[in-house]
Amino acid sequence: MAKQDLDFNKNEDVNKQLWDAVKSKLNTIQKGGGEKAASKQKAKGKLLARERVDYLRDRDSNWIEIGAFAGFEQYEEYGGCAAGGVVAGIGYVSGRQCVIVANDATVKAGAWFPITGKKNLRAQEIAMENHLPIIYLVDSAGVFLPMQDEIFADKEHFGRMFRNNAKMSAMGITQIAAVMGSCVAGGAYLPIMSDEALIVEGNGSIFLAGSYLVKAAIGETIDNETLGGAKTQTEISGVIDDKFPDDQSCLERIKYLMDKLGRHESAGFSRVDAKLPKKKEADIFGILPADRAKPYVTREIIERLVDDSQFEEYKEDYGRTILCGYARIDGWAVGIVANNREIVKNAKGEMQFGGVIYSDSADKAARFIMNCNQKKVPLVFLQDVTGFMVGSRSEHGGIIKDGAKMVMAMSNSTVPKFTVILGNSYGAGNYAMCGKAYDPRLIMAWPSAKIAVMGGDQAAKTLLQIETSRLKGKGEEITEEAENELLNRIKNRYENGTKPEFAASRLWVDAIINPLETRKWISMGIEAADHAPLAPFHPGVLQT
């Protein structure tokens, strides 16, 4: 067998194992708070959060889950917070694409941890950016009190939800809320600031203060059902629009309402009949190197993601460490900006390292991004970047100026941006290639992704120098053996923080996805973005 075939097989094994490991973790996450907590919900006649979402969605329709890894390996002292205690994603109800957010009452009774707030705000952000209807399936005990100082008062905390409710209402974005369990305190405003508010009899309740707090505050003795149950809030207060005997009938009403929505002006992105890639998509697992430092032909990855494997390159012979070009994904026209991981030669015959952004590459990418805005073509960034080129030659050549030009064009881009992190995502390269800070409509990581300020080896050696200097300053003797042990310990700790699970847990990425689902994510993302008209493009002041 040729060495190329051996390398392909090794890469394929490693990358498939990485995805299998992610799938295993997702399976555990999707169990929420566990079987015991699920049984308690079932005993009340409730559907579980994921069952509610599945019942609501159109049968056999696509679904992309946002933030499944939110809270992963966090809050262990409180028993964890699977998926941030909420299920969220983009799907279809009565043929209409929408955002769905469902509290998971099996996770600490649906209480809000800090990551719960961040995830809910991300779901609202997606709805607002794309003018998508949003459906809330409410079943929450409110703020998780032991961590209230991290969720209550700041700009990006719990209260931002209700500000977003108001903003979406003013934007004409449909919001439908169903109170299917507890809805208490400040959280009670969310369904009532929605366009339609529904409630399930027996399980649903909504009030600013529950019976225990009412007793403590004003001495009144009352049960929760009388205080704010379905009958009270539909017949007496009029707070809720309609009540339903069970989850299923409530969800059926939401389907009915979604079927009646009118259409809004679209952005007008180009779409034709979709074609599958000519080249075998599954080859991605074998092409992507197991060793993240090894070069590979990035175009081979692109040709397994785009329709008919057709990729028309822009300025092919200039700025070769970034590939720019036009293609279609599931019929949608896209402009692709990808880090080229080949080792190439520039026009002067000088070798350029794959995955590094040089001045000419940044200059080319900036111009291409502006062209895509001119043509109303959505942008797809494929990240496998170690950063910008450093050293005297680069500095004297104006690398900062050219990098700033690329960042300026990308930041001010008004066509929707979608980012897929294939491998390395280091330092300023993460920023220039549309990292989370630059408002991609969706940002996904493959299981092979690594996200950090710099690579593990460089970071560990830098941190080792700092640590050994500190120890020597205290008069401690450092042997070569002790130094190696310290280096490995630092590297292992640092490497753990670069894994995609670490990033997804903190919502630096929306999801860790199977590479073979990349086309679906980008297609559904552009379909969502097509709901919202584009603002005019102004690139800002570009240094030349």
Query: Is it the case that residue 333 has pLDDT exceeding 80?
Result: yes
C-alpha distances in Å from residue 273, one per residue of 100, 329, 523: 28, 10, 12
Confidence of residue 310 (pLDDT cuts 50, 70, 90): very high
pLDDT at residue number 135: 98
pLDDT at residue number 393: 80
Query: How far is residue 509's CA from residue 425's CA, in Å, rounded to a whole number?
Result: 12
Task: Give the residue-averaged pLDDT of 461-468.
Answer: 72
The answer to whether 225 touches 200, Cβ cutoff 8 Å, is: no
The answer to whether 297 touches 287, Cβ cutoff 8 Å, is: yes
Q: Which residues of 221-257 are buried (b: 16+ CB within 10 A; e: fewer)?
A: eeebeebbbbebbbeeeebbbebbebbeebbebbbeb
Query: How far is residue 269's CA from residue 398's CA, in Å, rounded to a whole number?
Result: 36
Task: Give the residue-averaged pLDDT of 447-462.
Answer: 80
Q: What digits encode the pLDDT tens for the residues 384-407?
A: 999 898 778 888 777 888 899 999
Task: Give the residue-averaged pLDDT of 306-311.
Answer: 98
- The count of C-alpha atoms lying within 13 angstroms of the C-alpha of 355, restricted to the half-sphere facing its C-beta, is 21
Query: How far is residue 175's CA from residue 497's CA, in Å, rounded to a whole number?
Result: 37
Q: What digits encode the pLDDT tens for the residues 108-123?
A: 999 999 999 999 999 9
Task: Quote the radius of gyration of the chain (alpha carbons, Å).
Answer: 25
pLDDT at residue number 487: 74
Mean pLDDT, the chain, rounded, equals 92
Query: How far is residue 528's CA from residue 539's CA, in Å, rounded to a whole number?
Result: 24
The residue ranking higher by pLDDT, 200 or 354, is: 200
Query: How far is residue 410's CA from residue 449's CA, in Å, rounded to a whole number?
Result: 22
Give the position of tokens 């966090």.
Answer: 74
Query: Is it the case that residue 459 has pLDDT exceeding 70?
Result: no
Q: What digits encode the pLDDT tens for the residues 243-252?
A: 999 999 999 9
Task: Give the residue-averaged pLDDT of 316-334.
Answer: 97
Q: What digits encode the pLDDT tens for the residues 21-77?
A: 999 999 999 999 999 999 999 999 999 999 999 999 999 999 999 999 999 999 999
| Pairing mode of beta strands 242-244, 196-200 | parallel
Percent of the chain with pLDDT over 90: 73
pLDDT at residue number 312: 98
The residue ranking higher by pLDDT, 490 or 386, is: 386
The amino acid that residue 346 corresponds to is N
Give the position of tokens 């070798």.
Answer: 351
Q: Which of 383, 287, 378 is nearest to 331 (CA)?
A: 378
pLDDT at residue number 148: 87
- Sequence-ordered list of residues with C-beta below 8 angstroms from that of 158, at least 6 positions apart, any chain: 112, 117, 143, 151, 152, 186, 187
Give the number of other Cβ atoms within 10 Å of residue 379's Cβ. 23
Query: How far is residue 55's CA from residue 47's CA, in Å, rounded to a whole number?
Result: 9
Q: Which of 373, 455, 462 is nearest to 413 (CA)?
A: 373
pLDDT at residue number 1: 43
Query: Is it the case that residue 477 has pLDDT exceeding 60?
Result: yes
Q: What digits encode the pLDDT tens for the residues 355-376?
A: 899 999 999 999 999 999 999 9
| Pairing mode of beta strands 442-445, 387-388 | unpaired
Query: Is it the case that residue 291 has pLDDT exceeding 50?
Result: yes
The helix/strand/coil state of 407 is helix
Secondary structure, 3-state, 272-292: CCCCCCCCCHHHHHHHCCCCC
Percent of the chain with pLDDT over 70: 97
The helix/strand/coil state of 424 is strand
Query: How far is residue 493's CA from residue 491's CA, in Å, rounded to a whole number?
Result: 5
Query: How far is residue 149's CA from residue 208's CA, in Å, rounded to a whole number?
Result: 20
